[in-house]
Structure 1
Amino acid sequence: MSENLKSVSVLELLLKPELPDVRKVLPEKQVEVPRLSELAGTPMVFTLRGLSYDQVRQVQEKPRSDQAAFGVLYGCVSPKWGDAALLDKTRGIATPVDAIKARLIPGEIDELYMEIQQLSGYLRRTLGEVKNG
């Protein structure tokens, strides 16, 4: 470790303006859902965003069987699953989670949620070990 790094405190580094407030600025990425692209005849690209700490806790409070769908609901920037056009009570699509389950197959829901979890810092190493010496 260089002397320069030792002289700067972690607190000073956390106060740098370059470090975003992750409650407001979270990583995003675009992914394609090939099955839907094939059916639509055009690329079906979703924009995903990592979840905030509070959103992760909200997902964890849901029944285990619905956590992936709620993760997709909270972490999907586009499409907006709560859009009224996707809801149709006469077809049993009363909530945004119903819309997700009606349009996506289970593997797609799970894979989208895995992508959202990665954007949220899960399913990968987020810490590095400090070697003394």
Structure 2
Amino acid sequence: MSDEKTVSTLDLLLRPELPDVRRTLAEKKVEVSRLSELAGAPVVFTLRALTYEQVRSVQERPRGEQAIHGVLLGCADPLWKDKSFVDAGKGIVTPLDAIKSRLTAGEIDELYAEIQVLSGYIVRTLADVKNG
């Protein structure tokens, strides 16, 4: 007989060292090379994982709009909603306009891919359990 005590999944999930992922969102800094070259200094974005509700909000958008909305929600810095980006004379009146005016389509997609990784997508987050 084994003296090992089996710990339930519930007990493991209730351990205090497991973070509340709604409050402890993963972050990552990434540099946008093209902008750094143009600016003559590193242009670094701080990306943050999306909450469950934010992911669902992005997924409700038409497929062609999901990446830009993901970047809007997943950029901790810069904050695309900052009024400093608004320039009606240049046709920048919304945060989405600001993103489109500064980033290429490929950069938007790459930033969104990084945000998805931080949010637990693109990589496998579950492991198979072998019958034992």
Superposition deviation, residue 30 in structure 1: 0.5
Aligned to 1:73: 72
- What are the Cα deviations for residues 43-86 of structure 1, in whole angstroms up to 9, with x where unaligned? 01100011110000110112222110000010010001000001
d(CA) in 2 for partners of 1:69, 1:3: 54
Moved over 3 A (4+): none
d(CA) in 2 for partners of 1:82, 1:88: 13
Aligned to 2:57: 58
Superposition deviation, residue 3 in structure 1: 6.9
Gaps of 5+ in 2: none
**RMSD value over aligned CA atoms?**
1.5
Paired amino acid for 1:73: L
**Higher helix fraction (1 or 2):** 1
Secondary structure (helix, strand or coil) at the match of 1:100 reads helix
Q: How does 1:17-32 map to 2 (within 5 A)?
A: 17-32=16-31
Aligned to 1:34: 33
Superposition deviation, residue 90 in structure 1: 2.2
Secondary structure (helix, strand or coil) at the match of 1:30 reads strand
Aligned to 2:11: 12
- What are the Cα deviations for residues 74-124 of structure 1, in whole angstroms up to 9, with x where unaligned? 001000100000111221111111100110000000000000000001111
Pair 1:86 & 2:85 matched = yes
Paired amino acid for 2:131: N
Q: Residues 103 and 3 of structure 1: is their aligned pair in 2 closer, same or farther, counting only changes over 3 Å?
A: farther
Secondary structure (helix, strand or coil) at the match of 2:76 reads strand
Paired amino acid for 1:129: D
Paired amino acid for 1:8: V
d(CA) in 1 for partners of 2:47, 2:22: 15
Secondary structure (helix, strand or coil) at the match of 1:7 reads coil
d(CA) in 2 for partners of 1:83, 1:38: 24
Aligned length: 131
Pair 1:105 & 2:93 matched = no
- What are the Cα deviations for residues 10-48 of structure 1, in whole angstroms up to 9, with x where unaligned? 111111111111111111111000000000000011000
